Structure 1
Amino acid sequence: MASLLLTNATCVATFDDAGTEITDGAVYIDDHVIRAVGPASELPDTADRVIDLRDHLVLPGLINTHHHLSQSLTRGVAQNADLLPWLKTLYPIWGRLTDEGIRISTLTGLAELMLSGCTTSSDHHYMFPNDCTLDTQIRAASDIGMRFHAARGAMTLGESAGGMPPDALTENEDAVLADMQRLIETCHDPSLHAMQRIVLAPSSPFAVTESLMRNSAELARESRHVGLHTHLAETLDEEVYCLERYGLRPLAYTASLGWTGDDVWHAHCVHLNADEVRQCAATRTGVAHCPTSNMRLASGIAPLADMLRAGVRVGLGVDGSASNDSGHLLAEARQAMLLQRVAPVRYSSAAVPGGRGGFAGDPAALSAREALRVATRGGAATLGRDDIGAIAAGMSADLVAIDLNRISYAGAGHDPVAAVVFCQPSSVDLSIIHGRVVVENGVLQTLDIGPVLERHRQLSRAMIRGD
């Protein structure tokens, strides 16, 4: 790859350890690595390509720690249901998924994420009907140019054995473990600046056996930089299920199977108590926070601010496009900030005598910069990466830029970093992944999206209608 200079940016928000923000900043990239960051006047003014970012904010690429890309085929279904009825409605539809559906939905979902500022995404794919394979998703991510953590999920505990999914959507445990081993051997890259890694990700406590949880943890730890991921403590129904079936709360149950540590992150964690938050911090167990999905399914408000204060590794996740109906990671940062501000923290009396009291929020619960740090450095830590999430020499060249000359930012130019969170979420104008320009002038450069969207519409109609 050639050298690239991004220069004259209104602000480069590095999200380095010091939280440096550089006015009239510049970033010098050589090959796929950031080599220098600083004021434009102090960096070399020559490169194979120079991009003038006057009136732009430059940020590290955002990092998505939890998704189900294939769900973009089934948006807007079960609109007024909480998690379990929602799943019961969608399981039969998802049973019609094909390998082509995986490819098309992956390209569509990753394109949406890229345009929203995402440069690294994990995806938790746990259903493989009709001879579907994770290899198809991995190839699609490579084709579009996304840095990708492919999570090989599974469901092995069907309805007949007391689980939630239909038996027809479950897999044989030995076959799952063999496929996990194959994917680690053929697709996992543990090296610095890796574009592709494998994650082992049994679906959830009500969809997999205890033995799969134990054995997948052992398999991951026999390899290098193979993470572990699952859904956890998403709903009160799950808490009841774990107490009745295992005699333990969800976090204690997974901990008993070896699922704590800096190689583990759980999606949601809405229903953690204070002791469990401290346990996650002490064990370095990570969390993927998915605020929009949690609101859509009425699961509750995860204690994000408490987690951050305790030192838990937390990243953002847009979650599945059938429980979020969107894949806009910058919008997710905004939701995270706003939702923490209305999380009930104290009881307040009404000012009028005899009036009703209620719960009040905290306008300082989460700031715009804290939300962006969760979306960048937090996401990197959650995925077990120290080479992405910040703009600094030696880091992977994953950056995005946003034109500040938009009507939505009018009046907020005094603080452009906060503006992109407080104001209407926008698409990015420039995105660079691994030193490669993948979005320019707001247009995706690595894929002709039109034909993909047309095929996506056809596949979606066929799945939902049962054609």
Structure 2
Amino acid sequence: MSIVVVTGAVAVLEGPGRVRTGDVVIDDGIVVESADTTGARIIDATGCVVTAGLVNAHHHLLQTAFRTLPGTRGLPMREWLPAMAAAYGAAGVDPELTGLAASAGLAEALLSGVTTVADHHLTWPEGADDVGMARAAAAAAADLGARLVFVRGAARDDPQEAAASAEAIVEALVAERPDGVSIDGMLQVAVGPAGVHSDPRETFDLLAEVARRHGLRRRTQANEVVDVEVALERYGRRPIDLLQDWGWVDADVTLAHLCDVTADEISRLAAAGVTATHAPGCDVPMGWGVAPVRRLLDAGIPVGLGTSGGGSNDAGHLLADARLAMQVSALVGPQLPASEVLTMATAGSADGLGRPELGRLTPGAAGDVCVWDVSGVADAGVADPIAGLLWAAPGRRPRTVIVGGRVVVDEARLVDADEAEIVARLFERVGR
């Protein structure tokens, strides 16, 4: 049994709206009220705020290798998608590139306080080693000590091939697990087409069958600008109408983006128990708008937070995107308070993954902890240190990150990997 004690913090955000002082005790990877701390590892959090590990509910880790590419900025999505596809084709997406991009993206995540990443992988070249690619992403997470939710996505893939690939990945990564989550909780598999703008009903149907057989969560993207436009052109209907008819408006489904939703659509999503993911760091620069988060929350829809991928966002810093979410919320309704956005980045995201043990520091929760130093000049004059995590010092790094009781970031550095080596290997692979 291993005991870790985080002590001396200015404040501990243990759950939605619950702030306290005192220790956080982790016993064998689980948060407990108290334990015999003889021989425990003590983490000094003096001058720090302690939160649960952040949960990035929507990422495309492969895109970490394709940031700020010429000819991919300021484009309509109809032009951006083929530009990115051309870059993937030129680089040759295979298990090696998938693993290297995942290593860089997950290292960035840990170094920004994210302990769980949902990777919606959408690029599957014909003849590719699909299982090898999934294994490579999972291995990168295991090496770094991050939790990974690997989403076998589809983007114009052959529906039968996508379903067979998803089945093979489940068997390879989480065989015989009734909910698609590994015994230690470090790896989860889910499924999800890119959206109705990209994939036909058959893909949604077949991936839903895989999900039902294995108890997997389902995820897709909906109601970005192009999604609505294409749905109306192709089907004469809006995306939520199609998803509802196709059986993808249900309690096991999470919808990312939702920039353009009507009051009626919000009511239907809430009634079905759908969860949502807000991704302002992608939606704003791509010109897709701002999701009406206040209205979604008021309707009873749990909302998480995601960065989306490096091809649209260029960064994987969820706390910085939480700050953006808070700031742009005032453009579409009342401004969201920092505490509520922090809940989105933790418990809200975790709930959308079907993982209530994540994103909290209450007894029984997973021992995923971030220690944020708020003693420096960037936080000088801050009256509320919890709110200051977002309002002050965008882009900050946590001092310490713990995942399942294991320290994976110490003094703002990776414990089990060399950051410079990860960067160098990715640049060498993509020739930049």
TM-score relative to the length of structure 2: 0.93
Aligned partner of 1:376 in structure 2 is 346
1:21 CA displacement = 1.3
Which of these residues, 232, 257, 264, is aligned with residue 246 of structure 2? Answer: 257
Give the CA deviation at 1:193: 5.7
Instruction: Specify whether residues 193 and 11 from structure 1 end up closer, same or farther in structure 2 by C-alpha distance, changes over 3 A only.
Output: farther
User: 1:177 and 2:163 equivalent?
Assistant: yes
Q: Percent identity?
A: 32
Equivalent position of 1:267 in the other structure: 256
Displacement after TM superposition at 1:13 (Å): 1.0
What CA distance in whole angstroms lies between the structure 2 residues aligned with 1:460 and 1:113?
21
Number of corresponding residues: 418
Which of 92, 96, 101 is equivalent to 1:100? 96
| Corresponding position: 1:136 with 2:102 | no
What residue identity is the alignment partner of 2:40?
D
- Rounded to whole Å, the distance in 1 between the matches of 2:38 and 2:307 is 38
Separation (CA, whole Å) in 2 of partners of 1:385 and 1:206 = 29
- Provide the residue aligned with 1:242 in structure 2: 231
Q: Distance in 1 between matches of 2:39 and 2:260?
A: 51
Question: Contact 1:33–1:394 at 8 Å: present in 2 too?
Answer: yes
1:44 Cα deviation (Å)? 5.6
- 1:385 corresponds to which of 341, 355, 360: 355
User: 2-side partners of 1:370 and 1:76: how far apart?
Assistant: 31
- The 1:131/1:255 distance shift into structure 2, 3 A limit, reads same
CA distance in structure 2 between the partners assigned to 1:240 and 1:210 by the alignment: 17
Superposed counterparts of 1:47-86, under 5 Å: 47-77=39-69, 78-86=72-80
Distance 1:289 1:47 in 2: 42
Distance in 1 (alpha carbons) for counterparts of 2:199 and 2:139:
27
SS of the aligned residue for 2:370 comes to: strand
Q: State the Cα distance separating 1:82 from its structure 2 match.
A: 2.6
Q: In the alignment, is the contact (CA less than 8 A) between 2:84 and 2:311 conserved in 1?
A: no
8 Å contact 1:193–1:396 — kept in the other structure?
no
Residue 66 of structure 1: SS of its match in structure 2? strand
Paired amino acid for 1:203 = A
Out of 118, 124, 136, the residue aligned to residue 120 of structure 2 is: 124
Whichever residue aligns with residue 274 of structure 1, its letter is: A
In the alignment, which residue of structure 2 is the partner of 1:353?
A: none
2-structure distance, mates of 1:149, 1:197:
5
Output the CA distance in 2 between the equivalents of 1:392 and 1:146.
Answer: 20
> Who is 1:21 aligned against?
19
Q: Distance in 2 between matches of 1:20 and 1:300?
A: 31
1:417 partnered with 2:386: yes
Residue-by-residue CA offset, 1:23-48 (whole Å, 9 max, x unaligned): 3x1011111111127xxxxx765342
Give deviations 1:156-212, integer Å, cap 9, x for gaps: 3xxxxxxxxxxxxxx432222112112222323536761111111112212222111
Deviations 1:72-112 (A, max 9, x none): 11111212113221112111111232321111110000011
Listed as ranges, the gaps of 5+ residues in structure 2 are none
CA shift at 1:370, angstroms? 0.6
Residue 212 of structure 1 pairs with residue 218 of structure 2 = no
Choose 1 or 2 for highest CA Rg. Answer: 1
Structure 1 partner of 2:318: 329
Asked if the contact 2:56–2:318 (Cα under 8 Å) also holds between the matched residues in 1, the reply is yes
RMSD over aligned Cα atoms:
1.7
Q: Name the stretch that deviates more: 50-59 or 95-104.
A: 95-104
The gaps in structure 1 that reach 5 residues or longer are 38-42, 157-170, 346-361, 463-467
Is 2:160–2:206's contact at 8 Å kept on the other side of the alignment? no
Q: Give distance in 2, aligned partners of 1:369 and 1:35.
A: 23
Any conservation in 1 of the 2:56–2:305 contact (CA below 8 Å)?
Answer: yes
Over residues 282-330 of structure 1, what are the superposed CA-to-partner deviations in whole Å (9 max), with x where a residue is unaligned? 1111111100111111111111111111111210010001100100011
Alignment partner for residue 35 of structure 1, among 29, 32, 44? 32
Q: Which amino acid aligns with 2:18?
A: T
Per the TM alignment, residue 230 of structure 1 is displaced from its structure 2 partner at its CA by 1.2
